[in-house]
Amino acid sequence: MVDRRQFIKKASGTLAALGGLSLFQRSGLATATGAEDSTSLDALPGKKALIKKTYRPPNYETPVSYFDAPFTPNNIFFVRYHNAVIPEVKAGEWRLRIGGDAVRTPLELTLEQLRRDFKPVEIAALCLCSGNRRGLFQPHVPGVQWGSGAMGNACWRGVRLKDVLAGAGIGKSAMEVSLDGADSGVMKTTPDFIKSLPLAKALDENTLIAFEMNGEPLPHWNGFPVRLIIPGWTATYWMKHLTAVNVMSKPFDGFWMKTAYRIPKDRFQGGQFSSQETETNRPITEMVVNSLITNLVDGQTLPTAKPMEINGVAWDGGNGIEKMEVSTDGGISWHQATLKQDYGRFSWRQWHHVFVPKHPGEYRIMARATSHSGACQPNEPIPNPSGYHHNAVQKITIQVA
């Protein structure tokens, strides 16, 4: 951990240099009270200082200014856990067990076997917490009060889950595939964090068991030695420290599927998981279309009469971004931004727009993404009990001196 006195001294100097902007504002996050109340900077071992939401279990988000790049460095990638007991897994001792009542031949694999015996695959994909921006909902909802930094874009390398399952043999009765990791709760009564996937998603060619992240072994806080990668789906399914995969003939009924991570049925488009749906709700699955300004913050003052570049990123659940629009007058008029390099449909897409202020004063900046499916960001977030899928058009105010 960073020394508290050194951190306070450094933070005080930073605040003075920024003319009174809070660290929360300077990071590029919106300033809803729920998110700001739980904000401080701290560094986990192997990480730079991140925005600490909770320490036990560790939940830390990335300052938005770091998102002004195609890929998020490993040492500033966000950290999300439900359980507080997170063992230091040794690569040589790690084992992956493949089983379940719908598997023909149970397997146990070492990391060396996983790397040696299966075809390696790389994919660029955004890892995004289901509750990203939860702290910006009004009124506030329960849960970790995330700002906009519970996400990160990375290039993942591993092997296809379907190839590993093929080695075990999948029975005709298979319906879902459950996933378990090495972390656990402090108390025996804490439900184990186990998730499940519909069989079709588990067999998707883009679903990976990953052992590298941005060309390096996975960091401890991001799932070492292996984690699951489900491109296009929220990170609740991206099991860290993966130890067990079970193919089942019935729907998994554990707490983290049956009770948690659920949204009102028909409130959002897409994301089918029929074996886990009820008459009123269903599991959260696919990410929704969204965008974020990365180089400007709410309340910032800028010089007058100079061209200003507005930068950001946009993403969705895998259809890809068709266009990005920016308004500098509070939504009265919109201008198409320029999309940068496309790293694949599951990666976020960088964009930029040049704006020349005509006069000093206040400007209301807005950003809006549209996907190839035709989905567009709403003006206001869609209410739901757990504060998921906050994808409202971003609105920030800047002052031109």
Region for 370 from its dihedrals, namely left if φ exceeds 0, alpha if ψ lies in -120 to 50, beta otherwise:
beta
Here the tokens at position 24 are: 């929360």
Percent of the chain having pLDDT more than 70? 90
Structure tokens at 201: 């998603």
Q: Write out pLDDT tens, residues 385-398.
A: 999 999 999 999 99
Preceding peptide of 139 cis, ω within 30°? yes
The pLDDT value given to residue 305: 74
Give me the DSSP letters along 253-275.
--HHHHTSSEEETTSSS----GG
For 262-275, what is each residue's pLDDT tens digit? Answer: 999 989 987 789 99
Average pLDDT over residues 186-190: 90
Q: Rounded to whole angstroms, how far apart are CA atoms 394 and 153?
A: 20
Q: 262, 283 in Cβ contact below 8 A? A: yes
Q: What is the value of pTM for the model shown?
A: 0.90
Name the pLDDT band for 351 (thresholds 50, 70, 90).
Answer: very high
Dist. CA 255–CA 9, nearest whole Å? 43
CA dihedral 140, 142, 148, 154 (to 10 degrees): -160
Kindly list the structural domains of the chain, giving each domain's residue range(s) and its CATH number in brackets, ordered by start: 4-80 (no CATH), 96-283 (3.90.420.10), 290-400 (2.60.40.650)
- For residues 263 and 237, the answer to whether their CB atoms sit within 8 Å is no
CB within 8 A of 392, min separation 6: which ones?
A: 377, 378, 379, 380, 381
Smallest CA-to-CA distance from 96 within 186, 163, 173 is with 163
Asked if residues 111 and 90 have their Cβ atoms less than 8 Å apart, the reply is no
Task: Classify the C-alpha dihedral 310-312-316-318 as positive or negative.
Answer: positive
Task: Give the mean pLDDT of 183-190.
Answer: 92
Average pLDDT of the residues of the chain: 91
